[in-house]
């Protein structure tokens, strides 16, 4: 948590100040799973390949 303080000169009293607190929140990276092709038709008994692309935030995950 950070404390932020701002001050200004006041013509009457000289100086005025105020404070605010700022709480930073860690956001977990977005994990994604994409499969391609999204749809397909194949004859029964034939093989079919699906490619999965996994990412953790902006980083690709190998495996």
pLDDT digits (tens, 9 = 90+) for 26-54: 887 789 999 999 999 999 999 999 999 99
Q: Are 15 and 7 a contacting pair, CB within 8 Å?
A: yes
Q: Is the pLDDT of residue 63 over 80?
A: no
Burial letters 35-47, b for 16+ CB under 10 A, else e:
eeeeeeeeeeeee
- The domain limits of the chain are 2-61
5-34 pLDDT per residue, tens: 999 988 787 888 999 999 999 887 789 999
C-alpha to C-alpha distances, 31 to 6, 40, 53, nearest whole angstrom: 39, 25, 11
pTM: 0.47
State residue 62's pLDDT score. 84
């Amino acid at each position: 948590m950070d404390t932020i303080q701002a001050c200004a000169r006041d013509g009457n009293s000289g100086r005025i100040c105020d404070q605010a607190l700022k709480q930073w929140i860690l956001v977990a990276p977005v994990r994604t799973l994409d499969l391609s092709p999204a749809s397909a038709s194949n004859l029964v008994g034939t093989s079919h390949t699906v490619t999965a692309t996994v990412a953790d935030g902006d980083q690709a995950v190998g495996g």
